[in-house]
Amino acid sequence: MADYNRYGYGGGYGHGPPPSAPPAPTSAPPPSSSSSYGYGYGAVPVAFPPGTHPDVERAFRAADRDGSGAIDEHELQGALSSAYHRFSIRTVRLLIFLFNDPASSSPSRMGPAQFVSLWNCLGQWRGIFDRYDRDRSGKIDSRELTEALRSIGYAVPPSVIELLIANYNNGVPSNGALDFDNFVECGMIVKGLTEKFKEKDTRYTGSATLTYDGFLSMVIPFIVP
Amino acid sequence: MADYNRYGYGGGYGHGPPPSAPPAPTSAPPPSSSSSYGYGYGAVPVAFPPGTHPDVERAFRAADRDGSGAIDEHELQGALSSAYHRFSIRTVRLLIFLFNDPASSSPSRMGPAQFVSLWNCLGQWRGIFDRYDRDRSGKIDSRELTEALRSIGYAVPPSVIELLIANYNNGVPSNGALDFDNFVECGMIVKGLTEKFKEKDTRYTGSATLTYDGFLSMVIPFIVP
């Protein structure tokens, strides 16, 4: 339990310039209210957050082939694969679930603001991956995964690390390792579950009381593909 | 909450003759102790529970091509697909996780006793599916899923049913439905999570207190592929 309260930190990513994302433009447009972003063009006005790097805008517009202002899971998969890594459709769905507003009218599609958040977050995961993949093998092993998650505030117990590694290696934990896709998926799952848990553990006691319905509703979105 | 205590029932499957499994042989071998089953033959002595139907034995032996006495996920996928339905490797892994002894020395392989339990359980799921697929469309919709799960003791709230249906239908809940593979996966997830939850709610109050580590350890095996 000594490390438990570290899980409450988690402030190392999700905001601020990510380690490996494109640098912010030097002349950002002036901030505008977050409810009505200041600019947009194309078939449908597309609202990017102020200061979005042109490369990220370009990636979104290239993916949004029908110019609808939102991209579906296959378009997102294409956009991310060209910039970061080949992500499985399962990972892509998890990312859409985690980054979309739960009250969104189109929960299976992602708008520009969510895309920018996701892009920046993946840049940070890439930076973490590269930092902890010390031998440049392109893989993160269980010790490195433990350290990487700890570096961003998640003290994940060894038994859970073993479960994660084993499940991405056909059930065999020993000598298993994760590539970037699986690392992101693991990291997002730990992050997402921890945030859900924290919503029920507002005083950071390390335990939470859940109803059966609440438990199912909390967990099932992470499970089904 | 009125329906909550129904979740504690869950006695409709997992034991006893399943609705659509092969009929039990009329002259079953005499019961033997469960720790040392009474018979076995082949390269490695394979211990089937007393009374195992010859068809189930045959299916296991056909799948266990190297005669090792245990089958891996691809062998299990082949065996189940020939009898029931094409299961995704993801579903197969979930089934192995749910039916294997957690302390097993080879958690990614399944022995004969677990195979027989799984086979019988799938027979029961098949029966439930057929009973609730009233129009014989080969699909179960949200209302039918609610009724089917309720019939075996799980009172799953509508919001969770919607989540389940939506996630198997590209995020679109309306008019979505599940085929047998997805139905089994949903059913197993609900069953598995409910049983885990019940372990922490021994007095059936409808809520449970979980530690962070316990929560992650409970949930992650259902999530990772």
Cα–Cα distance for residue pair B45/B130, rounded to 1 Å: 36
Q: Is residue B16 part of a domain?
A: no
CA-based nearest distance A116→chain B, Å: 21
Q: Is residue B203 part of a domain?
A: yes
Q: Cβ contacts (< 8 Å) between A160 and chain B: which residues? A: 213, 216-217, 220
Q: Is residue B4 part of a domain?
A: no
Digit-coded pLDDT (tens) for A202-222: 898 999 999 999 999 889 888
pLDDT, position B159: 85
Digit-coded pLDDT (tens) for A103-116: 667 777 899 999 99
pLDDT, position A176: 80
Closest CA to A112 of A52, A155, A65, A172: A52
Which CATH number does the domain housing residue B118 bear?
Answer: 1.10.238.10
All residues at 6 or more sequence positions from A13 whose CB lies less than 8 Å from its CB, including other chains:
A121, A124, A125, A128, A152
How are beta strands A177-178 and A140-141 bridged, if at all?
antiparallel
* A89 — pLDDT class (breaks 50, 70, 90): confident
Closest CA to B193 of A222, A167, A15: A222
Percent of chain A with pLDDT over 70: 74
State ipTM. Answer: 0.71
Digit-coded pLDDT (tens) for A151-169: 988 989 888 898 888 877 7
In the numeric block, the tokens 């998969």 are attached to A77
Q: Is residue B37 part of a domain?
A: no
**How many residues are recorded in chain A?**
225
Tell me if chain B has a CB within 8 Å of the CB of A157.
yes
pLDDT, position B207: 94
Tell me if chain A has a CB within 8 Å of the CB of B213.
yes
Q: Is residue B128 part of a domain?
A: yes
CB atoms within 10 A of CB B189: 21
pLDDT, position B37: 34
Interface probe for A, chosen from B216, B217, B222 (most Cβ of A below 10 Å), is B216
Q: Is residue B18 part of a domain?
A: no
A to B CB pairs, distance under 8 Å: 129
Cα–Cα distance for residue pair B214/B127, rounded to 1 Å: 35
**Closest by Cβ to A206, choosing from B159, B212, B223:** B212
Of residues B171 and A201, more confidently modeled: A201
pLDDT, position B47: 84
Measured between alpha carbons, how far is residue B207 from residues B155, B198, B221 in Å? 14, 9, 21
CA-based nearest distance A97→chain B, Å: 9
Tell me if chain B has a CB within 8 Å of the CB of A212.
yes
Percent of chain B with pLDDT over 90: 36
Q: In the predicted model, what is the mean pLDDT of residues B10-37? A: 35
Residues A220, B154, B103, B55, CA torsion sign:
negative
**Closest by Cβ to A107, choosing from B164, B171, B224:** B171
**Closest by Cβ to B211, choosing from A108, A186, A207:** A207
Give me the residues of A, 168-187, that contact B with CB < 8 A.
Answer: 168, 170-172, 185-186
How far is CA B124 from its chain centroid? 9
Closest CA to A145 of A98, A194, A179: A179
Please check the confidence at residue B60 and state whether its pLDDT lies above 90: yes
Domain count, chain A: 1
Q: Is residue B171 part of a domain?
A: yes
Closest CA to B92 of B110, B69, B79, B76: B76
**Residue A170, domain extent:** 4-223
* A41 — pLDDT class (breaks 50, 70, 90): very low
